[in-house]
Structures are given as structure tokens and as C-alpha cells.
Amino acid sequence: MILLLAAAAVWFGMAPEAPDPASTIAVIERTDDANNANASGAPQQAVVNGWTTIDYLRLLAQQSDAASARQDRSTAMLTLCVAGIALLALTVPRAPAERLDGRVGVESDGTTEPLPNSPITSS
């Protein structure tokens, strides 16, 4: 139960908050068009292109951060899965090992008990 709560907390708490790239690209393009309309001459257009490049690089950085957050979330979920498997392996009771002669375990007096439905009788 605790692992399920931890998994839900990791899944929702580490969700990436990435902006919508399509709307962000549209804003960058509109800003570029408006700036280019006001630019006259190659030097001003070069400056506008520099601004546009910076805007696109910011968008790429935001997308890279979002991808990193998804990777961190996946790593945390995998860690919880491994912890859950380890917890199960350590807490699940095991049946006593069966001996080749059909007997199970060793009694305190050194004798063994036969398995139920075993043709071998206790000695």
C-alpha cells in the first residue's frame, strides 16, 4: 500500500511542466514577422534573426528540461519497482525445502516428517 502511494506521489509530483511547443513556436514566428516588418536593412534584420534564434534556443532548453524531468520520473518509478520486488522477496514465506527422500525439514529431535501423500513413512 505504501509503495502504491509512493508511486502515485512520484508519478504526479514529478510530472514535467512543459509548455505547448506548437503555441510557443507560433508566438516566436509572430514576433519574428512583426520585428522583420519594422526592420530596414540587413543589419537590423540580422539583429531580429538573432532575437528569433535566442527565442528558439530558449524553447529547446525548456523541452530539454522537460525531457530530463521525465527521465528522473522514470528512474524514480524503476527504483520503487525494485524496492517492491525486494520487499516481496524478503517478506513472502517460503515452504520448507523437500529432501530427495520425500521428507521435509528436520525436527528438534533430529527426525524428519514425511510429506503428506508421500509413500515414505517416518522412521
pLDDT at 115: 55
pTM exceeding the 0.75 threshold for the entire prediction: no
How confident is the model at residue 32, as a pLDDT? 92
User: Hunting for cell 503555441 — which residue is that?
Assistant: 23
Which range, 5-19, 53-67, 102-116, has the best average confidence (pLDDT)? 53-67
What are the C-alpha distances in Å from 29 to residues 34, 44, 48, 49, 64? Answer: 9, 17, 11, 11, 21
Over residues 85-108, the pLDDT tens digits come to 888 888 877 766 665 655 555 555
